Chain A
Amino acid sequence: MASAPSKLYADDVSLLVVLLDANPFFWSASSLPFSKFISHVISFLNSVLLLNQLNQIVVIATGHNCCDYVYDSSSPASRSAGTGKLSALSVDLLEKLEEFVGRDEKLLKKEPEGSIASSLLSGSLSMALCYIQRVFRSGPRHPHPRILCLHGSQDGPEQYVAIMNAIFSAQRSMVPIDSCFIGAQNSAFLQQASYITGGVYLKPQLLEGTFQYLSTVFGTDLHSRGFLQLPKSVGVDFRASCFCHKKTIDMGYICSVCLSIFCKHHKKCSTCGSVFGQPHSEAASEPNKKRKAGDT
């Protein structure tokens, strides 16, 4: 390659992967209507595309029963012209989103019991990371990827292990996970994700100003973040929950074989079946795959 006068992708080109929470159970109870929220998001996405003509945006919808890609700015299909009032991005995104919500609804098998109706964040995080790996593979010059979670549903404790796996993989690939959390109470999973990967976690105080929060906090590329004062993480709770009662503990006992956490001394590990104090036998039962790992 000749010594090109300019790099094809400079430091301030971003690939923004947005994980959009489309959980109907959350949105039906939210103070901000979904349609208004989408209009904030579309304005924000358009502004990111305007910041640099090489910026790319991918949107993955996180539903209650499934996850799917709903927009990719670099795919040839997205070059369709917008109508007079709506941009090309709006047209494509809204169409695919509507289709996604319909599909998600059809897949509903039964109403979620209790009040927790979480969305499949671990699924969309995993898909986002696979897409980002593909971008890394495309060569030494590529936009700098980051993930932005626009999320409001509560944490689903059954997703704990999968979300932690995704967080560690993002940390190794140096992909920050930002979160703009619009639910009622802070999400421990997303706080940990942002802390571990070096992203920004924000819970906006006034949802009517969502566009303002998005464009001032989450709009800048990674290189320029070094010059800005962004919200710092406060009070990330890294304590664990015991597997027996799910209560948060600050001192506990760990099984040396499977690393399950208990609050009291037991004779036998309920997850892997090891008997403590004796060399474990060959026929120790396999770890219980469906265990509900405690969230923090």
Chain B
Amino acid sequence: EDEDDVDGLEAWERAYADERSWESLQEDESGLLRSIDNKALYHAQYRRRLRAASRIQKGLIRYLCIVIDLSRAASETDFRPSRMAVVAKNVEAFIREFFDQNPLSQIGLVTIKDGVANCLTDLGGSPESHIKALMGKLECSGDSSLQNALDLVCGYLEQIPSYGHREVLILNSALSTCDPGDIMETIQKCKKSKVRCSVIGLSAEIFICKHICQETGGLYSVAVDESHFKELILEHAPPPPAIAEFAIANLIKMGFPQRAAENVISICLCHKEARGGGYTCPRCKARVCELPTECRICGLTLVSSPHLARSYHHLFPIAPFDEVTPVLSSSQHKLPKSCFGCQQSLLNPGNRPSLSVECPRCKQFFCIDCDIYIHESLHNCPGCESFR
């Protein structure tokens, strides 16, 4: 019996075969095992991310095409249950996160199978239609073709308005590409059309992917396991730095419909049935069920003010907090005993000060968990907001 058959292992054996828990142990100078301080590690990673993201203008209206590789390499099982399943699951999570952070943007899905690129869903602003297509039966076969994918995507992205930022995210499993012509020409075409291509590889680093990303200003990364892949793909959810010449600034006409009361019945455009509630287009008075959307009758983009407000934190980011070094905090009277945000004690057992941070504007102290939460999710400093 082939011992590589995972199903033949007991559950306890699998813990040693699959998750090599001994690799996460660390030793200190004298060779004794050291407990892993996950919190400090996580905080250090977060500080690195924060330093990388400085205050630069970001492209807020994005048109992103996700290219999913469904060649035979995607059926490999080194990512459990298979690369394709992991990709589909994470793309779904990514789509939700993307529309959460970029409500005015649109996504389109493209697949590569048997050397041919096909459009799975058109560019659209509603997450449900994309997720439904992903949940459908996806089969892998044949070769991958990067050139066909890029050609198809460039064709779609040519039609979008000039103020939008054009992006492609390729999720590549294959180690080779089967192209009908010269892929370098296609890359130059992308570059000229100002399309920013990023690639996430699931197998190994490939020169041509690196070249595409370098030429077009995108990001290339290779995932080592499932959780790393999730991390990498979610990195593409926040808006990337805007390359100034890429999009033309423009005034976009938009409508802000009022929400009708539940007892006002009208036929809606999306479902073609009589319903109460919903929103009325201010220009042509047609009824739509949800926002943001484009009115099908007159073409006006309909949004609500919270949708725009979701992106305001990119324009008004809060300053990173300063780390409080242990030397400074030796003057005990200077360091407060609890975090301003969550009231958690800033002292370790034994009255030694634990890691804390300070806001440079309001001079309040916070614990490192609040630091991460404030900068990654809340985007408000409680201290600055609590004082006039």
A161's contact among B55, B309, B343, B382, by CB below 8 Å, is which? B309
B374 at the interface (CB under 8 A from A): yes
- Pick the most buried of B245, B342, B385: most chain A CB atoms within 10 A of its CB: B385
Q: Does A249 contact B (CB under 8 A)?
A: yes
Question: Shortest Cβ distance from B325 into chain A, in angstroms?
Answer: 23
Chain A residue nearest to B344 in the complex (CB)? A134
Knowing A131-B341, A282-B244, the reply to whether A265 touches B305 (Cβ < 8 A) is no
Interfacial chain A residues near B388, Cβ < 8 Å = 64-66, 107, 109, 120
- Is B247 touching A127 in the complex (CB atoms < 8 A)? no
Closest Cβ neighbor of B372 among chain A residues? A133
* CB pair A258 B315 closer than 8 Å: yes
Interface window among A8-16, A31-39, A45-53, A235-243: A235-243
B256 within 8 Å of A by Cβ?
yes
- From B248, B257, B342, B370, give the contact of A279 (CB < 8 A): B248
Within 8 Å CB of B242, what residues of A? 257
Stretch at the interface among A80-88, A208-216, A269-277: A269-277
| Closest residue on chain A to residue B104 by CB atoms | A259
Q: Which residue of A lies closest to B59 (CB)?
A: A257
A276 engages B249 (CB within 8 Å): yes
Please indicate the chain B residues that have their CB under 8 angstroms from the CB of A167 in the complex: 306
Q: Is the CB of B251 within 8 A of A266?
A: yes
B163 is an interface residue with CB less than 8 A from chain A: yes
Kindly state whether residue B255 has any CB partner on chain A within 8 Å.
yes
Q: Does A296 contact B (CB under 8 A)?
A: yes
- Determine whether A165 belongs to the interface, using a CB cutoff of 8 Å to chain B: yes
Q: Are A161 and B341 neighbours in the complex by a CB distance under 8 Å?
A: no
Q: How far apart sit A296 and B307, CA to CA, in the bound complex (Å)?
A: 13
Q: Are A252 and B256 in contact (CB under 8 A)?
A: yes
CB atoms of A123 and B248 under 8 A apart: no
Question: Is A20 located at the chain interface by the 8 A CB criterion?
Answer: no
**Among A129, A196, A251, A276, which residue has its beta carbon within 8 angstroms of that of B251?**
A276
Number of A-B residue pairs, CB cutoff 8 Å, is 202
Nearest opposing residue in chain A for B308, CB measure:
A259
The distance from the CB of A73 to the nearest CB of chain B, in whole angstroms, is 13
B118 at the A/B interface (Cβ < 8 Å)? no
* CB-defined contacts of A238 to chain B, threshold 8 Å: 256-259, 304-306
Tell me if A130 and B385 are in contact (CB < 8 A): no
Q: A166, B305: Cβ atoms under 8 Å?
A: no
Option from B244, B340, B381, B382 in Cβ contact (under 8 Å) with A284: B244
Are B312's CB and A256's CB within 8 A?
A: no
Is there an interface contact between B369 and A255, defined as CB atoms closer than 8 Å? Answer: no
Kindly provide the distance from the CB of A252 to the nearest chain B CB, expressed in whole angstroms.
6
Cα-based distance from A295 to B48 in the complex (angstroms): 35
Do residues A274 and B316 form an inter-chain contact, with CB atoms below 8 A?
A: no
Contact between B254 and A66 (Cβ–Cβ < 8 Å)? no
- Check B382 against A130 for contact (C-beta < 8 Å): yes
Beta-carbon contact of B252 and A66 below 8 Å: no
A296 to B282, CA, bound (A): 16
Interface readout for B280-307 with A: 1 if CB under 8 Å, 0 if not?
A: 0011000000000000000010001110
Interface residue? A154 (CB, 8 A): no
- B256 and A280 contacting across the interface, CB-CB below 8 Å: no
Task: Say whether B382 contacts A126, CB under 8 Å.
Answer: yes
Q: With a CB–CB cut-off of 8 A, which chain B residues contact A237?
A: 258
A98 vs B379: C-alpha distance in the bound complex, in angstroms? Answer: 31
Question: Given the complex of chains A and B, what is the CA–CA distance between A282 and B257 in angstroms?
Answer: 35
Distance in Å: Cβ of A131 to nearest Cβ of chain B: 5
B342 and A131 contact, CB distance less than 8 A: yes
Q: Report whether B379 and A169 are in contact in the complex, using a CB–CB cutoff of 8 Å.
A: yes
Beta-carbon contact of B305 and A239 below 8 Å = yes
Complex CA distance for A65 and B343, rounded to whole angstroms: 20
Residues 224-258 of chain A, each 1 if its beta carbon lies under 8 Å from chain B, else 0: 00000000101111111000000001111111111
- Does A94 belong to the interface (CB within 8 Å)? no
Most A CB contacts (10 A, CB to CB) among B61, B259, B305, B374 go to B305
Q: Which residues of A contact B373 (CB under 8 A)?
A: 129-130, 133
Decide yes or no whether B21 CB sits under 8 A from chain A. no
Q: Does A7 contact B (CB under 8 A)?
A: no
The answer to whether B255 touches A134 (Cβ under 8 A) is: no
B211, CB-defined interface residue at 8 Å: no
Residue of B nearest to A196 (CB): B306
Collect the chain B residues with CB atoms within 8 Å of residue A293's CB. 312
Residues on B with C-beta less than 8 A from A174 are none
8 interchain pairs, CB-CB under 8 A: A65-B388, A66-B386, A67-B382, A127-B341, A130-B339, A238-B256, A284-B57, A287-B316
3 A-B pairs closest in CB distance:
A123-B386, A130-B341, A256-B163
Task: List the interface of chain A (C-beta within 8 A of B).
Answer: 64-69, 72, 75, 107, 109, 120, 122-124, 126-127, 129-131, 133-134, 137, 159-162, 164-169, 172-173, 192, 196, 232, 234-240, 249-259, 261-262, 265-266, 269, 272, 274-282, 284, 286-287, 289, 293, 296
Residues on B lying within 8 angstroms of A by beta carbon are 55, 57, 60-61, 100, 104, 163-164, 242, 244-259, 261-262, 282-283, 300, 304-306, 308-313, 315-316, 339-344, 366, 369-370, 373-374, 377-382, 385-388
